[in-house]
């Protein structure tokens, strides 16, 4: 699939990022206003709970206390996504939308890190190893969809028998 116009790709990334970041911040404000720390609220018995928590590290408790490092990494990720969108050919519309989800999640968690000194987590799912929030879900889903978009784009290219095939040299 030919790359979409750069301006269109950047606008799609920005629009999706804005929606994801806003939904994330609204949901976290609700969680901070209505949930009590340490108290679980059952949403779907045996599968889904809300429990307010704060996280100054990354997923699975990695890097606890390294809030500033993760804030800088979020800025780098958002900048890299802007560059990818401007360069074009990032897996078509699906790839561009996926990058928007990742950027929005990074921005949502960055806002928490800057304002609160850590990320607000409140969603707990059965068999998932850690609490998370909508930004985390958008990042994970965005990464999976971006990889899928790249694979689909690669399989549609003519002469893809070797690595690097389909690239102009």
Catalytic residue numbers read 121, 136
The SS3 of residue 124 is: strand
The SS3 of residue 120 is: strand
DSSP secondary structure string for all residues of 4-63: PPHHHHHHHHHHHHHHHHHHHHHHHHHHHHHPPTT--EEEETTTEEEEEEEESS-GGGTT
Return the sign of the alpha-carbon dihedral for residues 161, 163, 166, 169.
Answer: negative
Residues in contact with 30: Cβ distance below 8 Å, sequence separation at least 6, in sequence order: none
**Largest separation between any pair of C-alpha atoms in the chain:** 59
Q: How far is CA 166 from CA 48, 90, 146, 154, 156, in A?
A: 45, 14, 19, 8, 10
């Amino acid at each position: 699939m030919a790359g979409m116009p750069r301006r269109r790709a950047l606008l799609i990334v920005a629009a999706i990022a804005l929606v994801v970041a806003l939904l994330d911040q609204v949901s976290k404000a609700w969680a901070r206003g209505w949930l009590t720390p340490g108290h679980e609220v059952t949403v779907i018995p045996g599968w889904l709970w809300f429990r307010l928590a704060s996280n100054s590290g990354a997923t699975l408790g990695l890097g606890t206390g390294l809030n500033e490092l993760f804030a800088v990494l979020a800025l780098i990720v958002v900048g890299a996504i802007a560059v990818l969108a401007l360069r074009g050919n990032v897996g078509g519309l699906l790839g561009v939308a996926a990058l928007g989800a990742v950027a929005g999640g990074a921005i949502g968690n960055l806002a928490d890190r800057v304002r609160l000194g850590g990320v607000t987590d409140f969603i707990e799912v059965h068999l998932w190893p850690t609490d998370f929030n909508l930004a985390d879900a958008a990042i994970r889903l965005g990464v999976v969809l971006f990889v899928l978009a790249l694979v689909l784009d690669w399989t549609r290219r003519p002469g893809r028998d070797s690595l690097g095939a389909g690239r102009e040299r």
